[in-house]
């Protein structure tokens, strides 16, 4: 997935928030397509994405065939609905050849009604970049590139176990911005041994390229990673807060809008794909370990696919990719909506809740009141917006809405 984990664990049962036990959509939410490419050159020690070290040649032709089989089997669940954005994430999608990507996107277009102005993003790692390849990806239909820079500092890149150094990060950023009109640079801060000055220098280096979009992620120690088992020394909470304030000030001073916890964009350049997640739109996810959320007239379901590329490929070779699927309960829906919408700094229009969950607003009104009383959120008759305190303690705010 592209956003850091937003799934909550399932706890079936009735709604503690009171109200009704069924949902009903007037109009279905906008639909996005996510395509997962599960391989990387090397696994980074902090990474909990479904990414696997590529040993030998990638089975890219088989994988593209499996993706298209997967897509075809899912079509009845999204029949006739236009797809507004496509995100090819990983893993490291820039590892696959232009030929394979071209076949993939041609196959997608032949099967799904892609909107004429669809945003088509591809994730790339600076260690896998060539001008010719980028130009080929663009010709195949990619119109937005998301580059995993992480840092422009050799020492920190090394501590993060990245396959590239600062010079390659710079070269990749230059190349991406030369070849694509729409580019995102991913940075991380609060890195092992990083000082506030070094974090600020990374942001300044990114700003110098004037990318339309920039993501600044707080490095987190995720379970089941090398860093979780052998934690490096990280900056303390006060230092991290200082870094956060400084990077927000740096970026907003030169015209970036801080629109989501980790996302900054120039006017008109917000990530349409990620906004659809945060606004609790629908998405079909194909590929190893991909998740989907798909709404129907009176239900909303989640799907997930086999995480191991080998298992996924074996299912396809046997004739069908079989997603696990279950309905999201009425009790879970408000929490799932809020886990996404509260990430947006401008909050959400209250009418969006009913539009995207099929539930009445009464399901969350008592909890919105509670959050407001605690100073975590403000609300008028139109919008609910997290306060600076709510943004600082976002997890506490979100927890209030969980069943
Ligand atoms: C799937 S990766 C992007 C593309 C490519 N695989 C790469 O790393 O260059 C998505 C982004 O999530 C961020 N990320 C991954 N693990 C993280 C962690 N533990 N804490 C914070 N950010 C993380 C990184 O900035 C990374 O670029
Ligand atoms: S290159 Fe990206 S997806 Fe792959 S292991 Fe590193 S952070 Fe994870």
pLDDT digits (tens, 9 = 90+) for 66-84: 999 999 999 999 999 999 9
Across the range 272-297, mean pLDDT stands at 98
Long-range own/partner contacts, residues 261-266 (CB < 8 A, 24 or more apart): 261/343, 261/345, 261/391, 261/394, 262/4, 262/215, 262/216, 262/217, 262/218, 263/213, 263/214, 263/215, 264/213, 264/214, 264/215, 264/216, 265/212, 265/213, 265/214, 266/212, 266/213
Neighbour count for residue 7 (Cβ, 10 Å):
12
Residue 8 has pLDDT above 70, yes or no: no
Task: Report the percentage of the chain scoring pLDDT > 90.
Answer: 93
Long-range own/partner contacts, residues 240-248 (CB < 8 A, 24 or more apart): 240/189, 240/190, 242/196, 243/189, 243/190, 243/194, 243/196, 243/199, 243/200, 244/189, 244/218, 246/196, 246/199, 246/200, 246/203, 247/189, 247/199, 247/200, 247/203, 247/216
Ligand 2 within 6 A of 91 CB? Answer: yes
At residue 9 the predicted structure's pLDDT band, cuts being 50, 70 and 90, is very low
At residue 21 the predicted structure's pLDDT band, cuts being 50, 70 and 90, is low
Ligand 1 within 6 A of 47 CB? Answer: yes
Going from the Cα of 47 to the center of ligand 1, the distance in angstroms, rounded, reads 7
Q: Where is average pLDDT lowest: 18-27, 39-48, 82-91? A: 18-27
Using the atom order of ligand 1, give the atom closest to the CA of residue 126: 9
By alpha-carbon position, which residue is closest to atom 8 of ligand 1? 148
By alpha-carbon position, which residue is closest to atom 27 of ligand 1? 148
By alpha-carbon position, which residue is closest to atom 14 of ligand 1? 47
Pocket test for ligand 2, best of 37, 47, 126, 288 (most atoms within 8 A of CB): 47
Ligand 1 within 6 A of 220 CB? Answer: yes
Residue 263 has pLDDT above 70, yes or no: yes
Residue 16 has pLDDT above 70, yes or no: no
At residue 293 the predicted structure's pLDDT band, cuts being 50, 70 and 90, is very high
Going from the Cα of 91 to the center of ligand 2, the distance in angstroms, rounded, reads 6
Using the atom order of ligand 2, give the atom closest to the CA of residue 90: 3
- Report phi then psi at 339, rounded to 5: -60, -30
Q: Does residue 357 contact residue 298 with C-beta atoms inside 8 Å?
A: no
Rg (CA), the chain: 21
Q: Does residue 366 contact residue 47 with C-beta atoms inside 8 Å?
A: no
By alpha-carbon position, which residue is closest to atom 16 of ligand 1? 47
Average pLDDT, the chain: 94
Ligand 1 within 6 A of 221 CB? Answer: no
Across the range 271-277, mean pLDDT stands at 98
Closest ligand to 187 CA? Answer: 1
Predicted local distance difference test score (pLDDT) of residue 18: 40
CATH 1.10.20 fits 1-23+330-338+346-403, yes or no: no
Residue 17 has pLDDT above 60, yes or no: no
By alpha-carbon position, which residue is closest to atom 20 of ligand 1? 219
Going from the Cα of 14 to the center of ligand 2, the distance in angstroms, rounded, reads 39
CA distance 42 to 91: 10
Ligand 1 within 6 A of 148 CB? Answer: yes
Per-residue pLDDT reduced to its tens digit, 199-222: 999 999 999 999 999 999 999 999
31-277, CATH topology level: TIM Barrel (3.20.20)
Predicted local distance difference test score (pLDDT) of residue 129: 86
Domain range list for the chain: 1-23+330-338+346-403, 31-277
Predicted local distance difference test score (pLDDT) of residue 142: 98
């Amino acid at each position: 997935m592209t956003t850091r984990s937003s799934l909550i664990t399932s706890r079936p049962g009735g709604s503690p928030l009171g109200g009704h036990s069924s949902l009903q959509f007037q109009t279905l939410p906008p639909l996005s397509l996510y395509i997962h490419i599960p391989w990387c050159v090397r696994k980074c020690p902090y990474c909990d994405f479904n990414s696997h070290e590529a040993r030998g040649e990638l089975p890219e032709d088989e994988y593209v065939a499996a993706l298209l089989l997967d897509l075809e089997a899912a079509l009845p669940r999204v029949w006739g609905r236009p797809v507004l954005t496509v995100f090819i994430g990983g893993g490291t999608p820039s590892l696959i050849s232009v030929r394979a990507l071209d076949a993939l996107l041609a196959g997608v277009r032949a099967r799904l009604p892609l909107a004429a102005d669809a945003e088509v993003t591809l994730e790339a790692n600076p260690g896998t970049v060539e001008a010719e390849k980028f130009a080929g990806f663009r010709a195949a239909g990619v119109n937005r590139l998301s580059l995993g820079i992480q840092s422009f500092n050799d020492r920190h890149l090394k501590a993060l176990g990245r396959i590239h150094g600062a010079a390659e990060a710079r070269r990749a950023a230059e190349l991406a911005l030369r070849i694509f009109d729409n580019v995102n640079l991913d940075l991380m801060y609060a890195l092992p041994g990083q000082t506030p000055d070094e974090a600020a220098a990374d942001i300044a280096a990114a700003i110098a390229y004037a990318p339309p979009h920039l993501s600044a992620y707080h490095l987190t120690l995720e379970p089941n990673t090398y860093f979780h088992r052998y934690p490096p020394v990280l900056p303390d909470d006060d230092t991290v807060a200082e870094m956060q304030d400084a990077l927000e000030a740096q970026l907003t001073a030169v015209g970036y809008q801080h629109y989501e916890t980790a996302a900054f964009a120039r006017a008109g350049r917000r990530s349409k794909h990620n906004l659809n997640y945060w606004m609790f739109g629908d998405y079909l996810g194909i590929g190893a370990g991909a998740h989907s959320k798909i709404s129907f007239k009176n239900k909303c379901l989640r799907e997930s696919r086999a995480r191991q590329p080998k298992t996924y490929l074996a299912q396809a070779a046997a004739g069908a990719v079989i997603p696990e699927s279950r309905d999201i309960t009425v009790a879970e829906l408000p929490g799932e909506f809020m886990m996404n919408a509260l990430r947006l700094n401008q909050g959400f229009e209250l009418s969006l809740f009913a539009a995207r969950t099929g539930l009445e607003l009464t399901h969350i009104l008592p909890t919105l009141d509670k959050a407001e009383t605690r100073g975590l959120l403000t609300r008028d008759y139109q919008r609910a917006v997290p306060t600076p305190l709510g943004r600082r303690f976002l997890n506490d705010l979100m927890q209030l809405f969980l069943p």
